[in-house]
Structure 1
């Protein structure tokens, strides 16, 4: 980190020393904060956070096959408390009303899958310091909209790699508005309602912009551009039946990953990580490691679901098996090891950054990203509607 920049940053807010930094081990389970009625204005420098720490990562089971809802044996993770059921129910009702009634995102026959996704439980688990359900809705709308784009543009609900670039570009203008001449602006404006994914992006982003600072909104747009670039790389491989090298696949997954979700943890928490802190190379590395690790969680838990879908669905276990000439089981178990290495690297780098730059907003943001990873694992582990584990133990 540049010494001059660090000195300048450290002249900012103070009051939280390194004694409050607990990335590992964790000894307490977070409790949901009491809800507040509405999204509050974002202060420039938020108060020192009081986000409780969480339990130490679980060890692999001593033997036996995992049951439905069990974690993947040997996967490094931090168990969390069951999300507050009252908050989950309130969020679930609000996000469904937005998706079904406000923007008509899904036809009636998709309602069961929408309910089975459990967006409310997902977001409550991932954002334990959100001040209110309204704050959680900022994340929930964006999550649902991103899934709609993935399902309808890329995956098996009408998606295809053919022509994906054009569809993603037009969808991205719902997040990053087109600035054009008066003659052509109305046609673009009308296009925002042309299909369900664009309606979802546009509506979710409007809510987000009203609650966030300009810097936070711009950060999110850049993260979504990264995501869309990852989608296009995967689509290009699908069109040419290309199985990438493992390192190539991991490069793609650094872009086609969950990064946009944990990096809005400050907006959902009601504060702001200043742009100069977000841009630090050390912070960018921490965010990249977090996104990479949490996305491999998805590869591992969705493994059997993806194998049952038509065609070849790339995920890390499959790519390791194909490129390194090992069995499916060996590929899967090595992918677990890759995830664990990334998680350990994330936690070490996050702790080092928090010690080097103990600014309250930076520390809170790091803990928010860490909590998001824990909540994301919890949701994957417990969502037996969507996921079952392979018979590898």
Structure 2
């Protein structure tokens, strides 16, 4: 009996990229031979309020940042630009705002930071937090997205009663999504992300937290809501009852409608990817609900494990759909890409823990967030637990940037590079929204 053939070697990033042809890979590799072309402006780590002078830069701040992207002939389509909602058929000379955005995309380190800081953002950033400032999002796009999402919420899905209107407006979701998706080609593309974001928050508020949410019975509510994203296929007798149930409450109505829009604009692979990440999110909700029912505080590592599921991951994972292109399924599924996306989701979710800390302390009951868990499990004061949580966030951010830069070098396919830059833009936009949303958030007096 002949000996079996040896097992084929495991596929790594270059092997996956080879499916797109050696010529494409070689061309992409030539465009990214200089790692400086993959890096953008420096991070901004604000000095503590009490510090009289700026601290010396830390060696870790020199780690590469995937923002600038490749340069050279044929790469213009990969660059992030702030665009007007309805670009004219011919390209006129750039406006001062567009010129600033283009300069920020190609300038050296100092110029990028200066561009973002010429118009200081509203709100105070957390002292010591590692983040990247961004230019103010296009106000015309913000206004249009805000107008459209409110019309959708009221007219299409009856999302909230009249007395919730102030809270809906205070969420500033239009500014949030425009900041997070600077490469979206049209407002229609931005609306794909905006509807899904609003629907996700409706589920969180109405099922889990602020507006009647409860850990009791959460599993069955989430299961039925998930079928609005991942349709039930059952017998003819029971299909009508399920279809009718999708209109039973605001979260299911919002999920159903937002997903219908998304499916029409995305590929089957992109839609399935989103469903998978929403399943992760719902699993995280259930873990947190179990701790609430048992009235226990998890270990710090357990809390961080929950936060890798109950986090913002579904939002940056659709950055290619919102950008009007597709990261092929085998490249999205690479373990290295999955690690980058997970780190991005983890870092952005700890940003939420930190900025919402005071809001959650003021709410009834005990809300688990990283400072609370660290304080209780490690016996630290509120201040020390909060400051340690800032350090946890910063380490996650550095790891995200390091892993993204390594993946860009190992698999320099244009769609990979653009996707990585899109995820980085989402991370930065997420921080911008948390910092500037003073309607929802305020900082503790720890500095």
Q: TM-score, normalised by structure 2?
A: 0.80
- Residue of structure 2 equivalent to 1:88: 142
Q: 1:101 Cα deviation (Å)?
A: 1.4
Cα displacement string for residues 236-260 of structure 1 (whole angstroms, at most 9, x for unaligned residues): 0000001000000000000000000
Match of 1:75 in 2: 129
Q: Kindly tell me: are residues 346 and 284 of structure 1, through their superposed partners in 2, closer, same or farther at Cα, counting changes over 3 Å?
A: same
After the TM superposition, which residues 1-393 of structure 1 pair with which residues of structure 2 at under 5 Å, given as runs?
2=12, 4-9=15-20, 11=22, 13-14=24-25, 15-16=27-28, 17-18=31-32, 19=34, 20-22=37-39, 25=42, 31-36=81-86, 52=105, 69-393=123-447
Within 2, Cα distance between the matches of 1:72 and 1:53?
28
What value does the CA root-mean-square deviation take over the aligned residues?
A: 2.2
CA distance in 2, matches of 1:53, 1:285: 27
1:22-60 deviations in whole A, cap 9, x for unaligned?
Answer: 2563798965213348xxxxxxxxxxxx993797898xx
| Pair 1:35–1:110, CA change in 2 (3 A) | same
Offset of residue 11 of structure 1:
3.1
Q: TM-score, length-normalised on structure 1?
A: 0.91
- TM-superposed CA distance for 1:300, in Å, is 0.2
Distance 1:131 1:212 in 2: 14
After superposition, what is the alpha-carbon deviation per residue over 1:49-107, rounded to whole angstroms, capped at 9, x for unaligned?
x993797898xxxxxxxx97110000000000011111100110000000011111000
Cα 1:232–1:10, aligned 2, differ >3 Å: closer, same or farther? farther
Contact 1:23 1:350 in 2 (8 A): no
Could you tell me how far apart the structure 1 residues matched to 2:439 and 2:207 are?
23
The 8 Å contact of residues 84 and 140 in structure 2, kept in 1 or not, is answered as no
Task: Name structure 1 gaps, 5 residues minimum.
Answer: 38-49, 59-66
Contact 1:24 1:347 in 2 (8 A): no
Give the whole-Å Cα distance in 2 for the aligned partners of 1:220 and 1:12.
31
